[in-house]
Amino acid sequence: MDLFYAKVRKDENLGRIFEGRIGTDEASWSAHKQKIASFWGGIFLGEQDYHGAPLKAHLDLEPFPREFFEIWLGLFKESCEAVFCQEPAEQLLDRAQDIAQRFQKILYEFPHS
Interval 87-102: pLDDT, tens:
999 999 999 999 999 9
Residue type at 45 in one-letter notation: L
Residue type at 29 in one-letter notation: W
Spatial distance between the Cα atoms of 27 and 96, rounded to a whole number of angstroms: 25
As its CATH architecture, domain 2-109 has Orthogonal Bundle (1.10)
Q: Give the pTM.
A: 0.89
Interval 25-39: pLDDT, tens:
999 999 999 999 999
DSSP conformation letters of 6-28: HHHHHSTTHHHHHHHHH-SSHHH
Helices 86-109 and 67-83: crossing angle, nearest 10°?
Answer: 170
Domain boundaries, the chain: 2-109
